[in-house]
Structure 1
């Protein structure tokens, strides 16, 4: 596991392979920018060929629930099982200790049946009654492989794949937050953008912690919006009025990325994001997680 200093040194070496017109001023301002916004995170890779044992972190298939746990439902219809995370497997990859070192998290969300080959209809931000995050911190010998509910359509019987993890440092997602544009020549301007996005392209869209990569707007602001409007979303699944920007942006800083992953394509082309406020995470109140989606 490399340090943040070593990570930035690797980027500097790559930086020097590019022809810059004013390398000294570009390098200082750009690396000041990424140093201030680089954070540790955990990359997730799916490994279909790896055997999944009881309680292991995985995506798809069926959950390994505790003996007293039930498959969540919405209006008497089963939710879709997305993933389970064994926190003891993730603990060695935490550069900063945010998550508990034991227990299993289960992620479920409700979706209507697919309407066509492109998947189901859904709102990117929806009420908490349509998703559920369960936490189990009991004995592993009490876990059981839970079969798909009989009423679960085959489209949502997703293939199981093990998850493997890797620590990494994540640079700021948005290069346009860089403040020195007016000081750059046209050539250096284009090179900075190309360099920055070449680094982002090497990262995966499935991750734990860090700053989740958005497909649209800032993900933490979506979490904050959904959190502020929970009561209204419970009533009609839609809410037109925007909260005060200062309130939303302040609350956004309190969220931690628990899991970001692509949603299965039989549901639709979207990225799913699970976030939780720091206080709720500290108290293991995972039922307070917020789930939002973004699409292209």
Structure 2
């Protein structure tokens, strides 16, 4: 008990020192909002909730022409910047569609936990079902590829047998400091939800405060790392359902506890907003595409086990 009290006191002092030493620090301001709220949460629970505020890499997008975006920089659409002898990913005999590339050197300054490689590039490819038509959400319908270098890249023309309707208007990506809290249906919040009737009031005010402090566009769901900003229920449940190959409501009810447990093992790698990424919308509709990864794979720089799901309105 003494150790717990000392731990609580120490954490409180650390946060209070941070708040007083740098009043303009965004993370401190967010935590201060929680600690000084008139919520019925005990001060210890306010502190615990404030510790759930997670650094996130915000994404701003600007429509450009490819010639106005330097080779190797982060972007959505346009021609990809690829290394020589690149093996274009396929589904069966059909080529996947290039959607985006993320330069990790640009992200590094905002990845405060250093969970991503400090350099290199991540490419996103997704298969388009031509009969539907639209992005296909199946295990073999997408590929995220990590390339360790950026000094060997060449802006590359599309293969002759490429699905030309899947060539998108280039959009430049710029990153900024942001923060997120767990989705309001996340099991991470179960303790607070069950103990305090007014928890959602604090939750909602914190969510709105984060949007204001970080200038996060609530209508733009592009993002790297952090907690998922889901359109429906927590996308972590969707990751679990995809792994368990659940397709019916009865299967979901039967495996509900397993879904909740599996949802703990994934972290958000990135989310790509079709509706706010120029003409990705013609194949993604008003949906956001979420990519999850297990922490052990991220630590090993293994991007082969990425899981992808869609959520939309």
The bucket for the TM-score relative to the shorter chain is 0.7 to 0.9
The residue that corresponds to 1:105 in the other structure is 122
> Residues 43 and 207 of structure 1 are in contact (CA less than 8 Å); yes or no, is this contact kept in structure 2?
yes
Q: Using the alignment, how far apart are the partners of 2:18 and 2:261 within structure 1?
A: 27
- Helix, strand or coil at the partner of 2:56: strand
TM-score (norm 2): 0.73
The partner residue of 1:218 within 228, 234, 237 is: 234
TM-score (norm 1): 0.77
The residue that corresponds to 2:53 in the other structure is 38
Cα gap change, 1:173/1:239 in structure 2, threshold over 3 Å: closer, same or farther? closer
> Residues 120 and 146 of structure 2 are in contact (CA less than 8 Å); yes or no, is this contact kept in structure 1?
yes
> Residues 126 and 135 of structure 2 are in contact (CA less than 8 Å); yes or no, is this contact kept in structure 1?
no
Cα gap change, 1:4/1:215 in structure 2, threshold over 3 Å: closer, same or farther? farther
> Residues 31 and 50 of structure 2 are in contact (CA less than 8 Å); yes or no, is this contact kept in structure 1?
no
| CA apart distance, 1:228 | 3.7
The residue that corresponds to 1:286 in the other structure is 303
The partner residue of 1:166 within 176, 196, 217 is: 176
The residue that corresponds to 2:12 in the other structure is none
| CA apart distance, 1:136 | 1.1
Q: Using the alignment, how far apart are the partners of 2:40 and 2:242 within structure 1?
A: 41
Q: Using the alignment, how far apart are the partners of 1:137 and 1:86 within structure 2?
A: 10
Structure 2, unpaired ranges of 5+: 1-16, 20-24, 275-279
Q: Residues 1-296 of structure 1: matches in 2 within 5 Å? A: 6-7=25-26, 9-11=28-30, 23=38, 25=40, 28=43, 31-32=46-47, 34-49=49-64, 51-113=68-130, 115=132, 120-121=133-134, 126-138=137-149, 140-141=151-152, 143-174=153-184, 177=189, 178-179=192-193, 181-182=196-197, 184=198, 192=202, 195-199=205-209, 202=212, 203-204=216-217, 205-229=221-245, 239-240=247-248, 241-242=251-252, 244-263=255-274, 264-267=280-283, 268-296=285-313
Tell me the alpha carbon deviations over residues 51-103 of structure 1, each in whole angstroms, 9 at most, x when there is no partner.
31111111111211111212222232221211111112211211101111122
| CA apart distance, 1:44 | 0.9
Q: Which has the higher contact order (CA 8 A, sep 6+)?
A: 1
User: Aligned-pair RMSD on alpha carbons?
Assistant: 3.3
The residue that corresponds to 1:232 in the other structure is none
- Helix, strand or coil at the partner of 2:298: helix
| CA apart distance, 1:260 | 0.4
